[in-house]
Amino acid sequence: MKDIANLALAGHEPLFDSILPVGQLYSPSKERFHSVFHDLFDRRYYTNHGKLAQELERRLEERLDVRNAVVVTNATLGLSLSCKALGLPPQGKVIVPAFTFAATVQALTWAGLEPVFCDISNKSHNLDPQKVAALLEQHDVCAILGVHLWGNPCDIEQLQTLADSKGIPLFFDAAHAIACRYHGKPIGNFGACEVFSFHATKIMNATEGGCITTNDDELAERLRNLRSSYGRRKNVKTPIDGYGRFSEAQAAFGLLSLEDLSRRCDENCQKMALYHKKLSCIPGIHCISPAPEENMNYQYVVLEIDEKEFGLSRDALQKLLEAENVIARRYFVPGMHHCPPYETLFPEFATALPVTDALCTKVLQLPSGAPVSMDAVSRICECIAFVQANSADIKRTYFA
Ligand SMILES: *Cc1c(COP(=O)(O)O)cnc(C)c1O
């Protein structure tokens, strides 16, 4: 790009012919899917904890080195089922970050619980243990729900100490964190239980789906009972039935996705490294790096844009990129404490989360999944560098 008139926002052709989304969208080939799926037509056993769902659970237990993997319809339901299996009381209060996907908090609401929104650490974007400790003193809390955002593990050790000090369960939304580790141990082994998402936009794709993992066999049995009458090992009492079945079609897709998981992590890693190499020298751009000593899945390329240094706002950059067919996203804006129904139900949190609110003005994710080649990454970075170098002109011409 040589001239700001060549920007798609100015009416020029976009940089890319088709859109580049943030979602991972990795899928197995049609042929491989068929090879796993075809005998379903003969077996005519489509759901109710069939052969493929059982095999997927076994492989997940192996891969994550955890005693129990319970696959369910999706992660949101998995979180709600976890609340029920943990026996959290009606209207109980649960500490949760507001800087997360809506489903984390909505799963609590569906389970009849109330969120107590907690601020996060500026550095990790995860629950800040000091702020958790303060909230534990102010509220009668029955559980802590952490989110391993962008696949970066929470400060699990400190959170567990806090939960233990109150005798309440800690559990995790691990929707971003499959194939990630904490102190060398796979995510999936921490807290009372952890919940993964296999939504098509996540690195492990079962089209839809989720999985709850736990090393607590009794909790696992309650989860299996909540899920469906199929797949139970023994009947145990649960407060309500959950219907979180996982179909054989989901399992077929999921098995192949799990087979490919390490390769996808490597591909993502290469793209992230290239992004970081090319973007970190641009004024006003700060790349969020994964925890260095941990294995990661690198599925989210996350930036913070400093408007003053960059010369344009995060929102202006997003608009410019969108015109080029680069669909960058502002996850998770606004924070859940500013979203319905919570903003009216719990107005006391409106000004209580300064780090979350500041981050919400800066954060941006770039495309990195299957539709994005290494060459595309280079071109996206060059476009951003061009925008920054010409930010004053662009601001005057298009954003005055
Ligand atoms: C995707 C996601 C979920 C929801 O997962 P589903 O499988 O779509 O229900 C929950 N929490 C976070 C942080 C997510 O990104």
Q: What local confidence, expressed as pLDDT, does residue 351 receive?
A: 97
Calculate mean pLDDT across residues 152-171. Answer: 98
Q: Name the token pair of 273.
A: 């490294």
**Which of 199, 253, 257, 365 has most ligand 1 atoms within 8 Å of CB, for mutation?**
199
Distance spanning both ends of the chain, measured CA to CA: 22
Contacting residues for 218 by C-beta, under 8 A, at least 6 apart:
236
Phi and psi at residue 109, in whole multiples of 5°?
-60, -45
Percent of the chain with pLDDT over 70: 100
Q: Is 292 or 337 the better-scoring residue by pLDDT?
A: 337
Q: Parallel, antiparallel, or unpaired: how do β-strands 93-97 and 285-287 relate?
A: unpaired
pLDDT at residue 50 is higher than 90: yes
Query: pTM score, two decimals?
Result: 0.97
78: closest CA among 218, 270, 224, 253? 224
Is residue 75 lining ligand 1, measured as CB closer than 6 Å?
yes
What does the mean pLDDT of the chain come to? 96
Is residue 103 lining ligand 1, measured as CB closer than 6 Å?
yes
Is residue 80 lining ligand 1, measured as CB closer than 6 Å?
no
Contacting residues for 29 by C-beta, under 8 A, at least 6 apart:
none
Q: What local confidence, expressed as pLDDT, does residue 291 receive?
A: 77
Q: What local confidence, expressed as pLDDT, does residue 1 receive?
A: 74
247: closest CA among 227, 266, 263? 227
pLDDT, tens only, 193-209: 999 999 999 999 999 99
Beta bridge partners, 294, equal none
Q: Name the token pair of 35.
A: 């090879």
Is the C-alpha dihedral spanning 281, 287, 293, 299 positive or negative?
A: negative
Calculate mean pLDDT across residues 352-378. Answer: 97
| Nearest alpha carbon, ligand 1 atom 6 | 75
Q: What local confidence, expressed as pLDDT, does residue 20 receive?
A: 98
Burial of 234: CB neighbours in 10 Å, binned 0-12, 13-18, 19+: exposed
Contacting residues for 305 by C-beta, under 8 A, at least 6 apart:
284, 285, 286, 313, 314, 317, 362, 363, 364
Categorize the per-residue pLDDT at 80 as very low, low, confident or very high, splitting at 50, 70 and 90: very high
Nearest ligand 1 atom, CA 197:
7
pLDDT, tens only, 95-144: 999 999 999 999 999 999 999 999 999 999 999 999 999 999 999 999 99
How many C-beta atoms lie closer than 10 Å to residue 240's C-beta?
10
Is residue 147 lining ligand 1, measured as CB closer than 6 Å?
yes
**Which of 70, 101, 180 has most ligand 1 atoms within 8 Å of CB, for mutation?**
101
Is residue 128 lining ligand 1, measured as CB closer than 6 Å?
no
In the DSSP assignment, the letter for residue 128 is: -
pLDDT at residue 363 is higher than 80: yes
Is the C-alpha dihedral spanning 279, 282, 288, 292 positive or negative?
A: positive
150: closest CA among 101, 115, 198? 101
Q: What local confidence, expressed as pLDDT, does residue 399 receive?
A: 94
Contacting residues for 400 by C-beta, under 8 A, at least 6 apart:
none
pLDDT, tens only, 201-243: 999 999 999 999 999 999 999 999 999 999 999 999 998 888 9
Is residue 203 lining ligand 1, measured as CB closer than 6 Å?
no
